[in-house]
Amino acid sequence: MILTVTLNTALDVTHHVRALRPHTSHRVSEVRERPGGKGVNVARVLAALGHEVTVTGFAGGATGRVVQERLAAVPGLVDALVPVTGATRRTIAVVDGRTGDTTRFDEPGPTVTPAEWSAFQEVYGDLLAGASAVALCGSLPPGVPVGAYAGLVRSARAAGVPVLLDTSGEPLRRGVAARPDLIKPNADELAELTGSHEPLRATRDARRRGAHAVVASFGADGLLAATPEGHWRATPPVRVRGNPAGAGDSAVAGLLSGLVEHLPWPDRLARAVTLSAATVLAPTAGEFDRATYEKLMTRVSVTAA
Amino acid sequence: MILTVTLNTALDVTHHVRALRPHTSHRVSEVRERPGGKGVNVARVLAALGHEVTVTGFAGGATGRVVQERLAAVPGLVDALVPVTGATRRTIAVVDGRTGDTTRFDEPGPTVTPAEWSAFQEVYGDLLAGASAVALCGSLPPGVPVGAYAGLVRSARAAGVPVLLDTSGEPLRRGVAARPDLIKPNADELAELTGSHEPLRATRDARRRGAHAVVASFGADGLLAATPEGHWRATPPVRVRGNPAGAGDSAVAGLLSGLVEHLPWPDRLARAVTLSAATVLAPTAGEFDRATYEKLMTRVSVTAA
């Protein structure tokens, strides 16, 4: 089983309006809700690829109940979320029907108590025993210590479970120092971590800081990988246009599935970049279009960098 | 007991952001949630005034559960909401911390099935037996027939219970024809009903259309009443500035409480206009400031119109 950790799960709400006009009232014509947070998105893609996946992190309140009800309906996905007293956050994405642009409002998430954080660490330790790989994803809710991911990386390494870290800012900086097997920063996260805007230099620098391998995502330009086995660039065959929401999470799912299937690095990167493109092209944010995935898969370019 | 009907109850969510910038992502710094919909707001003010009040209408889904949990905590308020399969809508109010302006996103509400609508009508009939007055408030959710309020007005009249109608558009037009005891349109609703933008003429015209009495609200200009006992204008002693959300619902609560206490019309209007001003001045939208209420109460001007 692949384990994904989402400490700040979310109920992702999408509102369609005719046109966004600040400081007025809008009738929402269409409402969609689904479980969110990076690790949850990764898990959904892994489940769609046929992997057994377990989701942990926190869930609480009425929004947490909705998240858990919806996750229960996903085949291949096991819910191991730990209860918290506070309510799981909402993210509201308002889609402007005139331009297609999205305006987001992200709630901060519940304040996690020290007892809840301890309970999570215990559950996490137990789950590691049955995991073939683990992904630690997204932001930290209030109350969780900033060094949280560093501790979770160390536990995974002690248990001999390959660990991927996908976060940003100080939690990423501290997590990298704990020597995760893989990080997947985007351009901004990589620059913030290393102080360098030069991709080749920055990915190598991130490895020196502790990451065993680094796969950096550059949107439509694809992925750049710095690993002990070599350096590669993976580029989608066409420049795709669409909704980039969830594209990074699909790349993480591609990398993780390739890891547990022991694929060579170029094949993992091809899968990740293709899943990413198929997510951008999907009509619903964060889903991926399987036909696109299968069509593009054979045409990705992976070259030595 | 006073009965308030809210067919389209809501979970009112307020998001504070530093500055609203369309088509970007925002971190929400503060989240507030509370039960909403006009009749629910009216009930909360009535309960705060010391009246026993029963809330009916529909509630469903995770949002409906939150609404009901919160209502259970209000002293003097009885929850008689009827369950529906669909989820109670959310309204999201985004407050721009830079300007104080609010941008609203109102979900449409659950689709009510014919069986659910029948179940509601039965509950409503039972509740009328114990009611000293009833207020029918707000918009209709999808599935409820446009003539719904006309039927509910007729049932109340048949049961000998004074009935106040506060809605807009076609549901108001049809409801008025069923001869409610009182309607409380705002300027726009009155103009839409009567085709006249001239307040004195329009309030008289609304009476001719079927309303026994009409109290129209004109924001900071106060109230204009056309009743069988006379015509009055009630004006707040100062022009208040603040958040007008819920001010109309507080006016309805003032009128209803005055009705069941058999106050003369000028006293009912004074109470309504004062509660309205105290709501605008309250720091939280839809609450009313009791100190302001008591201070302003003696200084309201009610004159023959």
C-alpha A47/C-alpha B55 separation (Å) is 44
Interchain CB distance below 8 Å, A106 and B17: no
Give the closest of A24, A62, A96 to B103, CB-based: A24
The verdict on residue B114 lying in a domain is yes
CA A44, A48, A54, A60 dihedral sign is positive
Which residues of chain B lie closer than 8 angstroms to A62, CB-CB?
Answer: 62-63, 65-66
Task: Assign residue B26 the CATH number of its domain.
Answer: 3.40.1190.20
pLDDT for res B78: 98
ipTM of predicted assembly, 2 dp: 0.87
DSSP code, position A195: S
Give me the phi and psi of B115, to 5 degrees please: -65, -40
pLDDT band at A246 (very low <50, low <70, confident <90, very high): confident
Residue B160 CB partners (closer than 8 Å, separation 6+): none
pLDDT band at A251 (very low <50, low <70, confident <90, very high): very high
pLDDT for res B19: 96
C-alpha A273/C-alpha A213 separation (Å) is 16
The verdict on residue A40 lying in a domain is yes
pLDDT band at A285 (very low <50, low <70, confident <90, very high): low
Percent of chain A as helix, strand, coil, to the nearest 5: 40, 25, 35
Contact A86, A59 (CB under 8 A): no
Domain hosting residue A36, numbered range: 1-144
pLDDT for res B245: 80
Contact B149, B175 (CB under 8 A): yes
The verdict on residue B4 lying in a domain is yes
| Side-chain-side CA neighbours of residue A247 (13 Å) | 25
Bin B138: left if φ > 0, else alpha if -120 < ψ < 50, else beta: left
The verdict on residue A113 lying in a domain is yes
pLDDT for res A281: 83
List of chain B residues with pLDDT < 50: none
Which residue type sits at B170? E
So which residues of A are the catalytic ones?
249
A280, A286, A290, A292 alpha-carbon torsion, rounded to 10°:
0
pTM: 0.89
Which residues of chain A lie closer than 8 angstroms to B106, CB-CB?
Answer: 25-28
pLDDT for res B63: 96
Question: From the CA of A146, how many Å to the nearest CA of chain B?
Answer: 18
pLDDT for res A220: 87
β-strands A163-166, A133-137: how paired? parallel
The verdict on residue A222 lying in a domain is no
C-alpha A44/C-alpha A75 separation (Å) is 9
Give the closest of B20, B104, B107 to A25, CB-based: B104
The verdict on residue B55 lying in a domain is yes
The mean pLDDT value for A26-40 works out to: 95
Interchain CB distance below 8 Å, B24 and A106: no
pLDDT for res A68: 98
Please, what is the average pLDDT of chain A? Answer: 95
Contact B4, B82 (CB under 8 A): no
The verdict on residue A238 lying in a domain is no
pLDDT for res B295: 87
Tens digits of residue pLDDT in A105-130:
999 999 999 999 999 999 999 999 99
Q: How many domains does chain B have?
A: 1
Which residues of chain A lie closer than 8 angstroms to B90, CB-CB?
Answer: 13
C-alpha A120/C-alpha A145 separation (Å) is 13
Interchain CB distance below 8 Å, B23 and A99: yes
What token pair was written down for B97? 């911390």
Tens digits of residue pLDDT in A60-97:
999 999 999 999 999 999 999 999 999 999 999 999 99
Give the closest of A20, A28, A62 to B108, CB-based: A28
pLDDT for res A154: 98
Is the pLDDT assigned to residue A255 strictly greater than 70? yes
The mean pLDDT value for A267-288 works out to: 87
Which residues of chain B lie closer than 8 angstroms to A17, CB-CB?
Answer: 105
The verdict on residue B107 lying in a domain is yes
